[in-house]
Amino acid sequence: MSVTRRGILTAVPIIGAGVLGVGFWRMLSDMRSGAFDPRAIKNPNVGKPIPTFAMPGLPGLGDGFTDAELKAQHRPVLVNFFASWCIPCVAEMPGLRAISRNMPIWGIAYEDKPENASAFIQRDGSPYARVASDRHGRVAIDWGVTGVPESFLVAPGGRIIWHGSAALDPQIYEAEIRPRLAGL
Amino acid sequence: MFGPEQGHFALALACVLALVQFAVPLWGANRRDARLVGLAPYLAVSQLLALGYSFLCLVMCAVSDDFSVQNVAANSAVSKPLLYKITGVWGNHEGSVLLWTLILAVCGGAVSLFGRNLPDILRGRVLAILGGVSAGFQMFCLLTSDPFERVFPAPMDGQGMNPLLQDPGLAFHPPILYTGYVGFAVPFAFAVAALIEGRVDAAWGRWVRPWAVAAWCFLTCGIALGSWWSYYVLGWGGYWFWDPVENASLIPWLTGTALVHSAIVVEKREGLKIWTVLLAIATFSFSLSGTFLVRSGILNSVHAFANDPARGVFILALLAIVIGGSLALFAWRAPSLTSTGLFSPVSREGSLVLNNILLCSICAVVVTGTMYPPFMQLLAGRTISVGKPFFDAATIPLTLPLLLAMGIGTALPWKRAQLARTFSHLYAAAGIAAIGLALCFWKLSGILPIACGALAIWVIAASVSDVLRRVGIGHTSAQGVWERMKNLPRSSWGAALAHIGAGITILGLCGMSQAEHAIVEVHIGETRSLAGDDWTLLDVHDYIGPNYKAMQADIAIRHNGKLVTILHPEKRDFTTQSQTTTEVAIHTNFITDLYGVVGDRHGTGKDTTYVLRLHRNPLAPWMWLGGLVMAIGGAFSLSDRRMRIGAPKRAAARNMARA
């Protein structure tokens, strides 16, 4: 059969519709299994080493920390960006306290006045092993943070293994974080 | 009498009738059995009655606060005003699907009633296709999104409605938009029927065009209304966000506009047949896909419907049958349709081909921009967003030649035109456009807004001068002009009006590209200036509304010391839904909108400050006004067609009476 203009005009629409249809079907089936989430925030730094930084601490909560200190840890660390002005962060605190019984959490106060951040985390007991202040959000940019709260699972040696852009709770810890700890 | 169970039963009955409406006339047409084919209109009307009854039942459930119905319990409340109890019926997924199928049934009923002069076989097949699509969506409604589902125990009060949606603009936006979407089902059914029959001729073009024009009018109004709503309710000062859901309505509008034009070529010159059939299929397919994408949750949009992938799978299967089936039929049958018209590039039909190419290119750009993010995420696992910069950069350069051609096209005669002669008709319009260009250079900044503005003036001037030339202004006496005005076909008036409307909308968009805004934090009594106006916050006071607490600001706007207006924007806290809405205050003189929004209150006592957003939006109302003028133009041309379509039969009857 020879290829004619007419043949192309009639074949292209159905091929195009077919490609779109298969794509939509894949998206829908992946959405049901959780592999495809159109609202997910992907972080490009997952799988890469943590960026370089040095941050001061918060008043009354000891010194801040640097990337070298984080890399030197022998256990995986959960790094959590938070702010006292962020409502989901307030809601996240009890969940973080529960998770902190299983693994160390290091907190980074994002664009927050140090005294506000300090008062906020000490109000009901701090879940954080160490806390640092990212007063102007510069470090958060290097980490690829799009909003607070966001959390990163950092393996010994300083590689980012996992990223979460929702308020953490023990369910997420069991489903997403704990299985990843086993391999470390 | 109008309970949920009756409604549920009527819906199921309608579904069965729709299935019969699909099967019987197709079978009858195949067997050339006139009686079976003749059943189609009766089936379509009974399906419409059953569905109308079902919809009425749902409305009655909402009006009578029957919270045993899940849908009413989730979206209504005793305290909701009556208007929103009624309009709230289609403000949610289940109800809107029922409305969607009801409008489809109305289309079938309209074809039955107004299509009496169609050949019986063609009408039977058209109604069968409409019935098939109807049956599919009614099954979707019954099986996955039943609006009559009961809840036990029934709650004492409902959960209420999102206060943002309690607005008259939004209440009537969905029915109008859906009528536009669904109305394209009729040209689609005509296209499929023609493919089954294997014949597309001038008569087919004349029959299909009024339906396409009617749907196009509604879709135009629906899009304009949605854009207007987002402008004055959301309080962002924007009117179009290139959001996937908005694009989902723009895509069928673009192909629908192309269809309305290409059907003229089929009618007058018997050309572009395959292309017109494809456009008819594509336009309805895009309407359907838009509905599907919004409800499946695949696209990340601000317009949230309750997303459910299971529902998405059902609609996708439905789409595969409807779109895949019609395209397969198209691929199989279309090559046998023959074209007779020979085209000269410089002619009316040549300009219509150009119009189609450009409209479809813009459509391709919008489709690409909308589908790129989800497909990128699927294939490469990367999240990206495509927004205004892409769409502006890609669509505006395609719009410029489209506007240029719009002015020339209507002045060209059919078959073969002489450019010199055509241009001689356009000198006046070109002169006005040149003045417009100077005006744009003075008022606008940026090369694209200036070019668009000048070309919009060109379109308006060319359309006006075209009508003036046709009625013989300057050549005939006043009496002669009046006679010619009466004799000029309504479709010519319609085309001129629609083109003028498009020009007005483009001018509005150009004006809005020069909008200025400022976000200020002020004490009471403080004045800030924006683009030559002085905005003073006079006072802020609180009051209690029926189901909200409000903070109202009084902002005086002075121009050179003279008071222009006092705006009263509000911020409302709806306690039951714990949601805050902003009531924008707009002062318009139809040239410029002054648009004020009141935000947060900071501090206490003497240090209290208020955050205000002040906008100066030149030509903003023109955007929607232009949409309305376009739709009126379409309606004008429709009134012409209807008379013409009835004509042959009436003339034949008269001849018979004479004989």
What pLDDT score was predicted for residue B342?
66
Please, which residues bridge with residue B567 across strands?
B555
Q: Which residues of B touch A41 (CB under 8 A)?
A: 383
Specify burial of residue A101 (Cβ count, 10 A radius: 0-12, 13-18, 19+): exposed
How many CA atoms within 13 Å lie on the side-chain side of B96?
21
What pLDDT score was predicted for residue B305?
56
Residue B312 counted as domain residue: no
Interface residue B363 vs chain A (CB under 8 A) = no
Angle of CA points B409, B415, B421, to nearest 5°: 60
More confident residue, B484 or B310: B484
Residue B576 has pLDDT above 80, yes or no: no
Residue B183 has pLDDT above 90, yes or no: yes
Residue B146 has pLDDT above 50, yes or no: yes
| pLDDT digit string, tens, across residues B102-131 | 999 999 999 999 888 889 999 999 999 999
How is residue B66 annotated by DSSP? -
B223 close to B570: Cβ distance less than 8 angstroms: no
Specify burial of residue B299 (Cβ count, 10 A radius: 0-12, 13-18, 19+): buried
* Mean pLDDT, rounded, for B578-589: 87
Interface residue B337 vs chain A (CB under 8 A) = no
Specify burial of residue A159 (Cβ count, 10 A radius: 0-12, 13-18, 19+): middle
Percent of chain B with pLDDT over 90: 55
Residue B564 counted as domain residue: yes
Q: Hey, what CATH topology would domain A67-182 get? A: Glutaredoxin (3.40.30)
Sheet bearing A77-82, strands edge to edge: A130-134, A105-110, A77-82, A150-155, A159-164
Residue B54 has pLDDT above 50, yes or no: yes
Report residue B413's pLDDT band, with 50, 70 and 90 as the boundaries: confident
Interface residue B375 vs chain A (CB under 8 A) = yes
Structure tokens at B301: 């949009």
| pLDDT digit string, tens, across residues B508-563 | 999 999 999 888 999 999 999 988 899 999 999 999 987 788 999 999 999 988 99
Question: Based on the domain organization, do B612 and B544 belong to the same domain?
Answer: yes
How is residue A176 annotated by DSSP? I
Q: Which residues of A touch B377 (CB under 8 A)?
A: 36, 38
Question: Based on the domain organization, do B523 and B500 belong to the same domain?
Answer: no
Residue B427 counted as domain residue: yes
Residue B651 has pLDDT above 50, yes or no: no
Structural domain harbouring B131: 1-161
Q: Do A9 and B297 lie within an 8 Å CB cutoff?
A: no
For β-strands B585-588 and B592-602, DSSP reports them as antiparallel
More confident residue, B145 or B236: B145
Question: Based on the domain organization, do B72 and B143 belong to the same domain?
Answer: yes
- Residue A85 — φ and ψ, nearest 5°? -90, 5
Question: Based on the domain organization, do B92 and B155 belong to the same domain?
Answer: yes
Question: Based on the domain organization, do B554 and B435 belong to the same domain?
Answer: no
Residue B652 has pLDDT above 60, yes or no: no
Q: Do A24 and B316 lie within an 8 Å CB cutoff?
A: yes
Question: Based on the domain organization, do B22 and B155 belong to the same domain?
Answer: yes
Q: From the candidates B279, B377, B600, B602, which should be mutated to test the interface with A, based on the most A CB atoms within 10 A?
A: B377
What pLDDT score was predicted for residue B106?
96
Question: Based on the domain organization, do B472 and B540 belong to the same domain?
Answer: no
Q: Which amino acid is at B160?
A: G
Report residue B252's pLDDT band, with 50, 70 and 90 as the boundaries: very high
For β-strands A105-110 and A77-82, DSSP reports them as parallel
For β-strands A130-134 and A150-155, DSSP reports them as unpaired
Percent of chain B with pLDDT over 70: 94
| Average pLDDT of every residue of chain B | 88
What pLDDT score was predicted for residue B601?
86
Question: Based on the domain organization, do B461 and B584 belong to the same domain?
Answer: no
- Measured between alpha carbons, how far is B40 from B193 in angstroms, rounded to an integer? 14
Residue B21 counted as domain residue: yes
- Residue B552 — φ and ψ, nearest 5°? -115, 135
Count how many residues are written for chain B.
Answer: 659
Question: Based on the domain organization, do B540 and B507 belong to the same domain?
Answer: no
- Measured between alpha carbons, how far is B272 from B266 in angstroms, rounded to an integer? 6
Structure tokens at A166: 């929702």
Q: Do A31 and B328 lie within an 8 Å CB cutoff?
A: no
Interface residue B378 vs chain A (CB under 8 A) = yes
* Mean pLDDT, rounded, for B257-261: 95
Question: Based on the domain organization, do B438 and B550 belong to the same domain?
Answer: no
Quote ipTM for the complex.
Answer: 0.81
Number of domains in chain B: 3
Interface residue B282 vs chain A (CB under 8 A) = yes
- C-alpha closest to that of B40 among B101, B114, B125, B105: B125
For β-strands B592-602 and B609-618, DSSP reports them as antiparallel
- Measured between alpha carbons, how far is B294 from B245 in angstroms, rounded to an integer? 6
Instruction: Indicate the residue among B512, B535, B566 that finishes a domain.
Output: B512
Specify burial of residue B503 (Cβ count, 10 A radius: 0-12, 13-18, 19+): buried
Residue B187 has pLDDT above 90, yes or no: yes
Residues 6+ apart with CB under 8 A from A95: A167, A168, A169, A170, A172, A173
- Measured between alpha carbons, how far is B399 from B456 in angstroms, rounded to an integer? 10
Residue B85 counted as domain residue: yes
Lowest-pLDDT choice from B290-304, B459-473, B595-609: B290-304
The tens place of each residue's pLDDT in chain A, 184 residues long, gives: 456 777 787 888 899 999 999 998 888 888 777 677 766 666 778 888 999 999 998 888 888 899 999 999 888 999 999 988 887 888 888 899 999 998 999 999 998 888 888 888 888 888 999 999 998 888 988 998 888 888 999 998 888 988 888 788 888 888 888 888 877 7
Residue B353 counted as domain residue: no
Question: Based on the domain organization, do B2 and B14 belong to the same domain?
Answer: yes
Helix (H) or strand (E) segment spanning residue B580: strand B579-583
- Measured between alpha carbons, how far is B639 from B210 in angstroms, rounded to an integer? 9
* Mean pLDDT, rounded, for B160-168: 76
Structure tokens at B386: 């495509």
What pLDDT score was predicted for residue B378?
84
- Alpha-carbon separation of residue B554 from B524, B538, B568 (angstroms): 10, 5, 5
Residue B295 counted as domain residue: no
- Measured between alpha carbons, how far is A21 from B298 in angstroms, rounded to an integer? 12
Residue B644 has pLDDT above 70, yes or no: no
Q: Do B309 and A18 lie within an 8 Å CB cutoff?
A: no
Residue B426 counted as domain residue: yes
Of B278, B335, B381, the CB nearest to A13: B278
Give Rg (Cα) of chain A: 22
Question: Based on the domain organization, do B448 and B592 belong to the same domain?
Answer: no
Specify burial of residue B545 (Cβ count, 10 A radius: 0-12, 13-18, 19+): exposed
- C-alpha closest to that of B171 among B63, B85, B288: B85
Structure tokens at B380: 């490469």
**Number of helices followed by number of strands (H, E) in chain A:** 7, 5
- Measured between alpha carbons, how far is B346 from A47 in angstroms, rounded to an integer? 60
- Residue ranges of chain A whose CB lies within 8 Å of a chain B CB: 4, 6-7, 9-11, 13-14, 17-18, 20-21, 23-32, 36, 38-42
Specify burial of residue B253 (Cβ count, 10 A radius: 0-12, 13-18, 19+): buried
How is residue B154 annotated by DSSP? P
| pLDDT digit string, tens, across residues B325-376 | 999 999 998 888 876 666 777 888 899 999 999 999 999 999 999 988 888 8
Instruction: Indicate the residue among B104, B137, B161 that finishes a domain.
Output: B161
Residues 6+ apart with CB under 8 A from B445: B514
Interface residue B245 vs chain A (CB under 8 A) = no
Of B319, B331, B383, the CB nearest to A14: B331
* Mean pLDDT, rounded, for B446-455: 92
